[in-house]
Amino acid sequence: MDKESLIKKAYDLGFNYEKKYHGCAQSTIAAVQDALEIRNDNVFKAASGFAAGCGLLRDGICGGYTGGIMSMSLFFGRKREKIDNDREETYRSYHMGCALHDKYIQEYGTIICKEIHIKIFGRSFDMWDEEEKQLFEEAGAHKDKCTTVVANASAWTIGAILNEIEKLSLKIKDFNHLQCIMD
């Protein structure tokens, strides 16, 4: 599949996963992994608590952004066995994270969940209050609002990953060792 098709696939998967399952960080990770056909259930599970600005509190960074950083770092990040000597991969992931940050700033003006809510809904919602959560849903959270944020995060993330793969003259299959499916 060509680069643009993979980016569109990640966008569509991110949108649909957030719509159906919710959990912005995990939806972004699942979209990127499924589009690239490299599944790592440990990374997916590790993103559980990052939804809605971490712990549903909205005052932290967007889960889509977090999921994107986690996905990029799975492909290009410091390895544990090289913790004292992997500057190149560490900085590669930093630069990719900066690129994702720039996309968020350009589109939403922020990476903070609550502030993104204000931008796309006109207000923020308390995810721990059932009435507020219902209003959040009625405002289109999982119809076209948060779904689009996750779709964008998924597309931007896979674009950054594919750019690095291309820049380094690698292939997606070179990353099959990242597969980790839990039983």
Averaged in consecutive runs of 10 residues, what is the pLDDT profile of the chain (183 residues)? Answer: 96 98 98 97 96 92 97 90 82 94 98 98 96 97 98 98 96 90 76
| Residues 6+ away with beta carbon under 8 Å from 87 | none
User: What pLDDT score does 50 carry?
Assistant: 96
Angle, CA 127 vertex, CA 122 and CA 133 arms, to 5° = 75
Cα 137 from Cα 144, distance rounded (Å): 10
User: What pLDDT score does 179 carry?
Assistant: 87
pTM: 0.95
- Domain residue extents for the chain: 3-172
User: What pLDDT score does 79 carry?
Assistant: 82
